[in-house]
Amino acid sequence: VLDFNDPFSTEVKPRILLMGLRRSGKSSIQKVVFHKMSPNETLFLESTNKICREDVSNSSFVNFQIWDFPGQIDFFDPTFDYEMIFRGTGALIFVIDSQDDYMEALARLHLTVTRAYKVNPDINFEIFIHKVDGLSDDHKIETQRDIHQRANDDLADAGLEKIHLSFYLTSIYDHSIFEAFSKVVQKLIPQLPTLENLLNIFISNSGIEKAFLFDVVSKIYIATDSTPVDMQTYELCCDMIDVVIDISCIYGLKDDGTGTPYDKESMAIIKLNNTTVLYLKEVTKFLALVCFVREESFERKGLIDYNFHCFRKAIQEVFEVRMKVVRSRKHQSHLQKKRPTPNGTPRMPL
């Protein structure tokens, strides 16, 4: 199952590694974000004792592999080929339990980051300071500051100040874990500047306050416009997606239960009591645009819909370019496997 040498999977689907000490919450994060597991159900998950790989390919933009590593992995074990794993990695997420003594976790973090950086300097290092739901606001800030300071001091002492670590406060009991994963995934999307530019053009010509491009399945937002993200706004968007999918599952399917709850006809309008309108429109099979609009601006719904039509057409063009790149890389990979070996016999796929 773990084919480290597959050039196509490495090149087209970047890897995200989930690492950290035992019981830090790695498997719970994966189950809640990508499997819709209730946070309370994660209490019954067994500890991970082997490397678990999962392909996440819900849409053309959310397309990667997540590798969940057991906390007891020993980098010095000769059977653990860390070079082969880190070489194809796009992001390394290291999970630290904020409610536990994190000195051992910081030591493991330093070892992991330094080993990975030597193999692949292009890895994005993401630190999830996890389980912060049990801390007060002041304690959260103090913990983040302390971990940030100690981790960067360790790198400075090793002469590795150029390694950049990104820190996030996360919990599976609120939307912070989804927002943190959104930031991680966005760094792996080569089309991100194009998507952000399209969203900026769309909102500036439509009188829209804020717009998110969501992956409907995971509720990760793969792009937003250049205005700052407000956590409350993001939570409202996530809740809206849940409402739309839940109602569509009840009333949107045919009498025999066939059909899909989310399709090209999917659209929703929710009017809030603060003169703001939430507007959701289907972009592709797995992507949705969720907008915040003032009521007075929403009166020009025809203009918004026309601009949305132009926006969706542009997204489809980006999607087509992406698929051409994927097909090209797949073709090149196939040719490499068929290339003759030095003795003249063709290479056989493993």
**215 touches 61 (CB < 8 A):** yes
> What is the structure's pLDDT at 80?
73
Q: What is the pLDDT of residue 219?
A: 86
Residue type, 32: V
Domain boundaries, the chain: 15-188, 191-327
Residue reference for tokens 């599952």? 249
Handedness of CA 109, 114, 120, 126 (dihedral sign): positive
Give the pLDDT score at 88: 83
pLDDT at residue 82 in the model: 79
Q: pTM (2 decimals)?
A: 0.83
Distance CA 91, CA 64 (A): 10
How confident is the prediction along the chain (350 residues), in pLDDT tens digits per residue? 233 333 334 445 788 999 999 889 898 998 898 888 888 888 887 777 778 888 876 555 667 888 888 877 776 677 777 788 888 899 999 999 999 899 999 999 999 999 899 999 999 999 999 999 988 989 999 999 999 999 999 999 999 989 999 999 999 999 999 999 999 999 988 889 999 999 999 999 999 999 999 988 888 899 999 999 988 899 999 999 989 888 888 887 777 666 677 778 889 999 998 889 999 999 988 889 999 999 999 999 999 999 999 999 998 888 788 777 777 877 777 777 666 655 555 554 44
Which DSSP letter does residue 164 get? -
Question: What is the pLDDT, as a whole number, of residue 349?
Answer: 47
Considering the domain 15-188, what is its CATH architecture?
A: 3-Layer(aba) Sandwich (3.40)
Q: Give me the CATH code for the 191-327 domain, please.
A: 3.30.450.190
Q: Which of 182, 166, 76, 80 is nearest to 123 (CA)?
A: 166
- Please tell me the predicted confidence (pLDDT) of residue 87: 86
Q: How far apart are CA 50 and CA 38, in angstroms?
A: 23
- SS3 (DSSP) at 170: coil
Beta bridge partners of 100: none
Q: What is the dihedral of CA 39, 44, 47, 52, to 10 degrees?
A: -60
